Amino acid sequence: MTGAATETLTGQPWRPAAGRVVCVGETMAALVPDPPEPLERAGRLSLSVAGAESNVAMYLADHGVPVAWLSALGDDPLGRRVRATVSAAGVDVSHVRTDPRHPTGLLVKSPGSTGTRVHYYRTGSAASALGPELLAEEPVRSAALLHFTGITPALSPSCRELVTKALATPADARSHAVSFDVNHRPALWPDGTAATVLRRLADRADIVFVGLDEAQGLWGEDLTVTGVRHLLPHPRVLVVKDGARAATAVTDHGVHTVPALRTAVVEPVGAGDAFAAGFLAGLLRSLTTAQALRLGHITAVSALRVPGDHGPLPPPARIERLLALPDPEWEALGQAPD
């Protein structure tokens, strides 16, 4: 095999082989009130981009991980804006398709006192026409790790077939590792279908990310981390995020829980993607599981502090100091890194 790593005879925890990560999924143009306020009262809208998989790709690039984003965009100004923005973050976009028949998707955010509502205009988008033929092409063939989210299989039957086929081969027989963020978006799923599909897909991945509240909403309100592991027994690494409190990684070598950093939240959207990127970067750097969780929290703070989905990381020296802190000092942190 060229990509997926296996545990060694010394009993070291499994981790993906070093190499290029390929993030597969839709990115849309995004209109956001500036400053944040309900859409109906907004005097000005700013144009940005939004996509879970490209968010992960951009943060991986920030961490120095070679990464490509694989998707499709319309042959339109919004598509060109999306492509340029993701490329400017250091992500390889050379394999992103331009589709002359389908438009680039669009979302509009409407912040309010109880949270941000997101309105999607993505039906029939270029990315929704993606299918399993992507898996036979570059950059997938040479990837060390593929990253998907549960958004993609909800976009269309062909997108569901894409993710299903990517996960159909048993983990030990794949030429690359696969990570999967459950990322449940209820508005995209017909009633009663998401729980079964997302559980089946997640249980076939090597690395899985899921929020505890997300898992409870999908599979049972009384679920604990142990219960989530019982439902998803096969991933080599299961990461359960408990909001602003902590994140827990469950592996064959044990259970590791690391408290989150506290910070003022400007906008929560994108923090989960940032956490996933930080954790994956930690595994690819051969950090310990606990340090990879710390790097996930550090990266998530970068998203929480900005109105968009992608914010700047702390300086590398600051990150290294945080990773090296003794556990009591990490736990005592009252502020996120400057």
Positions marked catalytic: 273
Reading the block at residue 157, the tokens are 């039957």
Half-sphere exposure of 268 (CA within 13 A, CB side): 10
Sign of CA dihedral 107, 151, 160, 85: positive
Question: What is the Cα–Cα distance from 177 to 207, expressed in whole angstroms?
Answer: 8
Please, are residues 91 and 55 in contact by the beta-carbon 8 Å criterion? no
Please, are residues 105 and 121 in contact by the beta-carbon 8 Å criterion? yes
Reading the block at residue 259, the tokens are 């408290």
What are the respective helix, strand and coil percentages of the chain, to the nearest 5?
A: 35, 20, 40
The CA-CA-CA angle for residues 119, 125, 128, to 5°, reads 105
Cβ neighbors of 107 (< 8 A, separation 6 or more) are: 28, 29, 30, 31, 50, 118, 119, 120, 121, 122
